[in-house]
Amino acid sequence: MVLTKEYTTSPPTFKHLTPYERGKICALLKEGFSPTQIAKKLGRHRSTIYREIKRGTTTQLRTDLTTY
């Protein structure tokens, strides 16, 4: 009897965004580019850009409970 390992899943193929890419996203947003245009410029999927924008956007409360 021969035992063999058969792996049915492939290793993940994603790459993290670099600090340079994060800065580029911020700069392009300030210039008025859409997330889809930014994704094309950086060679990333547009959902990656949308997630990064959402991740970097926060709503904070002041002491008088107003948001900023």
Q: Where are the domains of the chain?
A: 19-55
CATH architecture assignment, domain 19-55? Orthogonal Bundle (1.10)
Q: Which of 48, 54, 59, 58 is nearest to 18 (CA)?
A: 48
Rounded to an integer, what distance in angstroms lies between the CA atom of residue 6 and that of residue 47? 32
The torsion angles phi and psi of 29, rounded to 5 degrees, stand at -65, -40
Q: Tens digit of pLDDT for each residue in 12-67?
A: 777 889 999 999 999 999 999 999 999 999 999 999 999 999 988 767 778 888 87
pTM greater than 0.85 (yes/no): no
**Choice between 2 and 10, residue whose per-residue pLDDT is larger:** 10
pLDDT at 33: 97
- Show Cβ contacts of residue 62 under 8 Å, excluding neighbours closer than 6 positions: 68
pLDDT at 27: 93
pLDDT at 32: 96
